[in-house]
Structure 1
Amino acid sequence: MSVNLPPLSAIRAFEAASRHLSFTKAGDELGMTQAAVSYQIKILEDRLGFQLFTRKARKIELTDNGGQLAARVVDAFSSLRSAFEDISEKNAGQLVVSSNTTFAVNWLSNRLFEFQMQNPDVGVRIVPYGPHAEPEFNESDVVISACKAPPKNWLAHEIVRADFTPMLSPKLADTIGGVKKPEDILKLPLVDPQDPWWQMWFEAAGLPNVDLSGHPSSRMGSQALEANRAIAGQGVAILTPYFCKTALENGQLIQPFKLTCHADDESWYMSYPPALRTSRKVRLFRDWVHAELKRDGMPVTAPMAVVA
């Protein structure tokens, strides 16, 4: 036969009072007055039909029934505290970051060691998501998204603008004697010719309405994958220079033109729910990302609340 539990407030008051053998000390622990604790104990005694404490002039003592109940209740609350402490410590020490593949591969993977060296007590689990997947907003502490709006009321920082320009391997450029004019790009295979960035860039370069229908479709959906194809000499890719700094510096890729374009409302964002604004692990990660961006000469924006 199941028995309905008494009010939790009364059980909490009894548990604290039975440990301290003092209504006053129990009240101090629970943020209640001595009278409020006494009232909660009275509720519990009325519910049970017997006394839990013997009230004396300057102290209280547990009755036999009270002592039997206290042993079980104190043990139960101890188990509850341990459970909450364990999950709190685990949660406090593990940061889950759901990240767009490009940012995970071209940025985080090259730098995360530094964050972990600076914060050895914070374990980081990166959950990358591909071009046709959604960020793990509900299962992550921080989300790095590209062209996917965070949930309403989340706090978001714009971390990298979606600037873009053509890039290719120097060996591929040499096959046509170098890429000197925008028209030269059309002599070479393109990586993802259906990407709308191509038309935007060609128009800015003075070549509006370029027909790319003759180029085989090769939709990759991720700059990390497209950059690898470009490095392998398989075509010219339209990429964000910031994510290709290493490949440009070591000569795996070249950027034949200074012209870069920007797609309105397209950026990489770092976001997190408002409840985690003051979370230590989120704050450490956010500040570290900002420090890395500043070191690269990138602008750092204040957080904005997502309203749509």
Structure 2
Amino acid sequence: MSKLRALVPSTHSLFVFEAAARNLSFKRAAVELNVTQPSVSLSIKTLEKHCRVELFVRDNRGVRLTEAGSVLYDEVRAGFRRIEQAFERISERGTKYISFAASMSLAAHWLAPQLYHFQQEHPDIRIKVVATDRDVEPDHEIDVTVWVRRRDFSHSNAWFISDEIIFPVCSPTYLASHPQLRCVDDLTHHQLIHSSDAYRKRMGWSEWIELAGGDSSQVRTDIVFNDYQLAFQAALSGEGIALGWSFTNQYHLKNRNLIRPLPDEIRTDRAFFLVANDRLGQSEKTKKLVDWVLAQSEELRP
């Protein structure tokens, strides 16, 4: 059992005390609590007697907190706020987040740099980005996510974003300080950044170079990152050339943080899809997020 029950005459007395201390007026506290002023005075006197300390100084000009009253008010106010926040989190009136699950690279390099635009347009909508190293089903916890599936993929509440197009990318500073690339085979003379995701199948450099008509026998795998996000970051930092994906790299290519040192690209039989859970029809806010993602990626669709 909490010791609080023994320390206060009643929980109601804490509400009365908080209102009186915040307003520094028994009269205004009475109006706020919809009780009489004598009732407020009695509750405060009962609390003071129980605590064996004066909480208010009473004079002709009104009331003010004593040192003990100030200490108690600070803690009661903070405690009430924490309780309010807890109820907000568990109640229907609490802040509702739309959860967007995405790969680490997509979350960091497409969503994060642009979500503030969406927030400016829709200040009443709160977004929770869930970065994950594997695909997740949109369910009661995840509202929207992005999958890469075969081009003919069909699913309820799914929208085509763009084809999966893969091409070399690097930073302008890397290209400025290294030999120019004239063909695919020139790639093997550069620092190629490799990644190998445990739960997502991604095309590697050897496969890409072969499909692009080059010779992959000279490809070196000096450093391999276990997450594409790390390879992406290394490319942004000017450490070498990484493979880039149409949707994931869109933002940085548009802003020239990354460039394509060669025009060659591989278009696979797969595509990016935006997928929402079955509650989409009940959520106007989720629909707005879906519309925004599709609008932001419109240039990727033919």
* TM-score (normalised: structure 2): 0.58
1:101-120 equivalence runs, <5 A: 101-120=104-123
Distance 2:254 2:138 in 1: 35
Structure 2 residue 211 is the aligned partner of structure 1 residue 207: no
2:180 — aligned with what? Answer: 178
Structure 2 residue 203 is the aligned partner of structure 1 residue 196: yes
**Do the aligned residues in 2 keep the contact of 1:193 with 1:212 (CA within 8 Å)?**
no
Aligned residues: percent identity? 21
* Deviation, structure 1 residue 125: 0.9
1:237 — aligned with what? Answer: 242
Distance 2:124 2:241 in 1: 43
**Do the aligned residues in 2 keep the contact of 1:193 with 1:216 (CA within 8 Å)?**
no
Cα gap change, 1:241/1:276 in structure 2, threshold over 3 Å: closer, same or farther? closer
Distance 1:254 1:182 in 2: 16
Amino acid at match of 1:292: Q
**Do the aligned residues in 1 keep the contact of 2:175 with 2:261 (CA within 8 Å)?**
no
Cα gap change, 1:234/1:161 in structure 2, threshold over 3 Å: closer, same or farther? same
* Deviation, structure 1 residue 213: 5.8
* Deviation, structure 1 residue 215: 2.5
1:227-306 equivalence runs, <5 A: 227-245=232-250, 247-248=252-253, 252-265=257-270, 267-294=271-298, 297-299=299-301
Distance 1:115 1:162 in 2: 25
**Do the aligned residues in 2 keep the contact of 1:156 with 1:270 (CA within 8 Å)?**
yes
Structure 2 residue 107 is the aligned partner of structure 1 residue 100: no
Unpaired runs of 5+ residues, structure 1, are 1-82, 301-308
Cα gap change, 1:242/1:126 in structure 2, threshold over 3 Å: closer, same or farther? closer
Equivalent pairs counted in the alignment come to 207
Distance 1:281 1:274 in 2: 14
Q: Deviations over 1:212-247 (max 9, x none)?
A: 56422503432x432221232322111125543554
Distance 1:107 1:182 in 2: 27
**Partner secondary structure for residue 274 of structure 1:** coil
**Do the aligned residues in 2 keep the contact of 1:168 with 1:235 (CA within 8 Å)?**
yes
Q: Deviations over 1:49-69 (max 9, x none)?
A: xxxxxxxxxxxxxxxxxxxxx
**Partner secondary structure for residue 126 of structure 1:** strand
Q: Deviations over 1:133-187 (max 9, x none)?
A: 34363421111234599xx964211213221111223444455532122221101
1:103-142 equivalence runs, <5 A: 103-130=106-133, 133-135=134-136, 137-138=138-139, 139-142=141-144
Cα gap change, 1:116/1:260 in structure 2, threshold over 3 Å: closer, same or farther? same
Q: Alignment partner for residue 164 of structure 1, among 125, 149, 166? A: 166
Distance 2:118 2:239 in 1: 35
Distance 1:193 1:95 in 2: 30
**Do the aligned residues in 2 keep the contact of 1:100 with 1:145 (CA within 8 Å)?**
no
Alignment RMSD, CA only? 3.3
* TM-score (normalised: structure 1): 0.57
* Deviation, structure 1 residue 251: 5.0
Amino acid at match of 1:161: D
